Amino acid sequence: MNAAARITADWSPEATLSELHAVEAEFGRERVQRWGQRTLDLDLIAFDELIHPDAETYARWRAISLAEQMAGTPDRLILPHPRMHERAFVLVPLAEVAPDWRHPVLDKTVSELCAALSVRDREAVRPLE
Determine contact, residues 54/32, Cβ cutoff 8 Å.
no
**DSSP helix/strand/coil, 102:** strand
d(CA 8, CA 3): 17
Query: How much is the pTM?
Result: 0.86
> Per residue of the chain (129 residues), what is the pLDDT tens digit?
889 999 998 999 999 999 998 998 898 877 665 545 666 889 999 999 999 999 999 999 999 887 887 777 788 899 999 999 999 999 999 999 999 999 999 999 999 999 999 999 999 999 887
